[in-house]
């Protein structure tokens, strides 16, 4: 029962898995879904949420901005909205940043498993 299985990097994650990974209660993630239109996990039967890898990266970023960088909810909303309105080159950079953040998180998790 206490068995933990690692998912592939591109696998969808449940709200419980994302909550445990980030260290936040599930109700906070559900609240963020109401405040950030960019955060829209898939919902399947029974309204069960499945977070895509991009959603997980966005949750990590929102968490960092709110809880570590001192942004307010409104400040993060403005930041994300302004990024969405950038040119195609800007959105390419956002993808690069998201991939870089995901790789850094994977490396940190791998290093933690080795120690």
Greater model confidence, 101 or 7 = 101
List the alpha helices (DSSP H) in the chain.
Answer: 15-22, 26-35, 53-67, 73-84, 88-114
What is the model's pLDDT at position 108? 84
Identify which of 81, 107, 106, 108 has the alpha carbon closest to the alpha carbon of residue 94: 81
User: 3-class SS at 7?
Assistant: coil
Report whether pLDDT(72) > 70: yes
**Over residues 10-38, mean pLDDT:** 94
Least confident residue range of 10-14, 77-81, 98-102: 98-102
CB 101 within 8 A of CB 93: no
- The structure's pTM equals 0.67
């Amino acid at each position: 029962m206490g068995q933990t299985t690692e998912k592939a990097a591109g696998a969808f994650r449940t709200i419980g898995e994302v909550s445990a990974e980030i260290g936040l209660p599930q109700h906070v993630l559900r609240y963020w879904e109401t405040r950030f239109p960019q955060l829209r996990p898939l919902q399947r039967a029974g309204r069960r949420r499945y977070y895509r890898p991009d959603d997980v990266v966005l949750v990590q970023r929102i968490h960092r901005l709110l809880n570590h960088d001192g942004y307010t909810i409104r400040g993060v909303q403005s930041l994300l909205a302004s990024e969405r309105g950038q040119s195609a080159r800007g959105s390419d950079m956002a993808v690069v940043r998201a991939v870089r953040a995901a790789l850094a998180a994977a490396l940190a998790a791998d290093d933690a498993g080795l120690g």
